[in-house]
Amino acid sequence: MKSELSGGWPAVARDLLAALARGELSSVELTERCLAAIDARDGDVRAFLHVDRESALLQAQQADALRARGESPGPLAGVPVAIKDVICEAGQPATCASRMLSNFRPPYDAHVITKLKAAGAVLLGRTNMDEFAMGSSCENSAFQATRNPWDLTRTPGGSSGGSAAAVAAAMVPLSLGSDTGGSIRQPASFCGVVGMKPTYGAVSRYGLIAYASSLDQIGPFATDVEGAARLLEAISGHDPRDSTSVRRDVPAYSRTFDQPLEGLRIGVVREHFGEGLDADVASAVQAALKVYEGLGATLVDVALPHQQSCVAAYYIIASCEASSNLARYDGVHYGHRAESFDGLVDMYSTSRGEAFGDEVKRRIMLGTFALSSGYYEAYYLKALRVRRLIQQDYQRAFEACDVIVSPASPTPAFALGSLIDDPLAMYLMDIYTIGANLAGIPGISLPCGMTSAALPVGLQLLAPAFEEERLLRAARMYERETNWPRVAPCGA
């Protein structure tokens, strides 16, 4: 079942900003509408772990006061934004959906939070996720399983499932997630929204609680490409506190996204359309390619010879980095400490055993094994070498094309509980998205159709490093020709 967003309150950032600028809507009224939508829908969807109503309304009041005095409240001008619960905000919970950090409230803001506040955004609440961002279904949360607004029996994807579902259900117009191997793009595909992973180093990771430090990136969710462009522009830029943050000027994404690209060359990897791809997904993506051809784009066959090694390389590298990053949660410095234990070693093992979920334990053990004496070269070092080959594959492919187009996920949203006991099948849900993280390039997922079961299908576009502007323009070319951004789950 589908309904037009235009039939209710506008959930598109452009419309909201225009209404705010004209005085037809105040930030307080908009925030109250979002809070009312959360009250009405989140009991079923379960996208939020925490909503701070008082703080959100106070921020909205401040934005209205600035506007009343004739001062600019910022480019996001009092628009509510939801935050994945892996990004630190002073005084707000940052649990990573884990018992390990169930009582943690950071004393500082992540760089992206500082940027959002400066842009005038209203920070509405914290969204659910797979524990420590490890998962593809939002079922690994220690607190609740988020449900897909299109079908409450299905997953919204992961790990940023709460952020995607909150936007899809029109509880908030914009949200932030993090993407380590597809954790923004896959939920965006499942929930029928736009989700974007920036180039590694384009957005500061300061204040992002680490899973795999060489892969993690913060990025936007929105109902359309323009919303993603505006949010990306607000959070991008150099941060000296993050050694991987690149010193580059931030392009005016919000002003250039609507300019079509002439002579666009679209790379198509034939291996992306082989075994394991759902027929409805394949049909929707092929139809999207025909739309691009109708706009004058040229389809080019490109090869990614090491694509079949992406999943293996990713899960070794990511698990090794997780093993190292999560070693700090020992019950001594901070985090959960067991009430009963026998000596120091037992305190470590009991505290970690009680507080970490099964998937986090699985990846810690895998990473610790791969880093152990005698196995480092056979696993971790070899995975790093394969990663370099994957990066080179993308570099060569982009010599022949401007963007690469593929499905964002091999299937539409799957049933809750259907893959939770099959880790390998769950890992393969990221088969089309992992490569971008290993190569450090930007990617975006946007709606491109519906399955016969009325579930959204996501189209993934990839571009060379720091070509977000090209990526957004290419995505907008397709979006302009379709009605998908204006379609939402019934009741949203």
Active site residues: 84, 159, 183
User: Residue type at 128?
Assistant: N
Asked if residues 115 and 220 have their Cβ atoms less than 8 Å apart, the reply is: no
Residue 219 gets which letter from DSSP? E
Cα–Cα distance measured from residue 252 to residue 111, given in angstroms and rounded to the nearest whole number: 19
- Three-class DSSP category at 33: helix
**How far apart, in whole angstroms, are the C-alpha atoms of residue 166 and residue 127?**
8
Whether residue 121 contacts residue 79, with contact meaning beta carbons closer than 8 Å, is answered with yes
Smallest CA-to-CA distance from 31 within 58, 12, 7 is with: 58
Answer for the pair 85, 93: CB distance below 8 angstroms, yes or no.
Answer: yes
**Alpha-carbon distance 438 to 432, whole Å?**
12
CA dihedral 268, 274, 276, 281 (to 10 degrees): 50
Of the candidates 428, 488, 459, the residue with the CA atom closest to the CA atom of residue 196: 459
**Rounded to 5°, angle at Cα 168 from 475 and 91:** 105
How far apart, in whole angstroms, are the C-alpha atoms of residue 190 and residue 172? Answer: 17
305 within 8 A of 375, measured Cβ to Cβ: no
Segment holding 110, helix H or strand E: none
- Residue 266's SS3 state is strand
